Amino acid sequence: MDFDGFHRETVPQLLAGGRGTMAAAGLRRGDSLALVMPDGRGYAYRSTGDDLTVGEGSTADTVAELDAAAFDDLLAERWSIFGLLYRDRVRMRAGEFSTFAGWEAPLQALWYGRPIYGQLAVDALGSLDVHRSFTIDEDFGPFLARTGFAVLRGAFSSAEIEELNAVVSAERATAAPGDGRSWWATQADGTEVCCRLTYMANRSPLVARLAADERLARVAALADPGLMPCTDRLDGMSVVIKNPDVVAGLSDLPWHRDCGVGGHPVLCPGLNVGIQLDRADADNGQLHFLAGSHHHAAQQGVPAGIDERAVVSVEADPGDVTVHFGHTLHAAPPPTSPTAGRKALYVGFHLAAAFDAVGPGQSYNDVLITRDAGRVKSPDEVVAG
Identify the CA nearest to 369 among candidates 134, 179, 204: 179
- Averaged pLDDT for residues 209-220: 97
- Averaged pLDDT for residues 95-123: 96
Collapsing DSSP to helix, strand or coil, 34 comes out as strand
Same domain, 228 and 328: yes
Residue 383 pLDDT:
87
Cα–Cα distance measured from residue 104 to residue 344, given in angstroms and rounded to the nearest whole number: 30
Same domain, 80 and 148: no
- Averaged pLDDT for residues 371-379: 75
pLDDT in tens, 120-175: 999 999 999 999 999 999 999 999 999 999 999 999 999 999 999 999 999 999 99
Same domain, 109 and 150: no
Instruction: Provide the edge-to-edge strand list for the sheet that holds 62-65.
Output: 52-56, 42-47, 32-36, 62-65, 91-94
Collapsing DSSP to helix, strand or coil, 221 comes out as helix
**Confidence bin at 1 (pLDDT 50/70/90):** confident
Q: Which of 69, 89, 116 is the last residue of a domain?
A: 116
Same domain, 91 and 230: no
Q: Which of 71, 92, 116 is the last residue of a domain?
A: 116
> What is the domain extent for residue 361?
120-384
Number of residues that this document lists for the chain: 385
Q: Which of 116, 138, 166 is the last residue of a domain?
A: 116
Indicate the number of domains in the chain. 2
Same domain, 148 and 16: no
In the predicted model, is pLDDT for residue 372 greater than 90? Answer: no
Give the mean pLDDT of the chain.
95
Residue 377 pLDDT:
82
Percent with pLDDT over 90 in the chain: 90
Same domain, 127 and 267: yes
CATH number of 177's domain? 2.60.120.620
Same domain, 112 and 146: no
Distance, C-alpha 91 to centroid of its chain: 23
Residue 368 pLDDT:
85
Looking at the DSSP assignment, which residues form a beta bridge with residue 45?
A: 33, 54
Same domain, 82 and 191: no
- Averaged pLDDT for residues 320-330: 98
Same domain, 78 and 171: no
pLDDT in tens, 233-257: 999 999 999 999 999 988 898 999 9
Query: CB–CB of 339/172 below 8 Å?
Result: no
Identify the CA nearest to 167 among candidates 233, 219, 238, 232: 238
| Torsion angle of C-alpha atoms 214, 153, 300, 86, degrees rounded to 10 | -50
Same domain, 324 and 345: yes
Our CA angle for 65, 71, 73, nearest 5°, is 135
pTM of the predicted model as reported, rounded to 2 decimal places: 0.94
In the predicted model, is pLDDT for residue 374 greater than 70? Answer: no
Same domain, 250 and 366: yes
Same domain, 279 and 291: yes
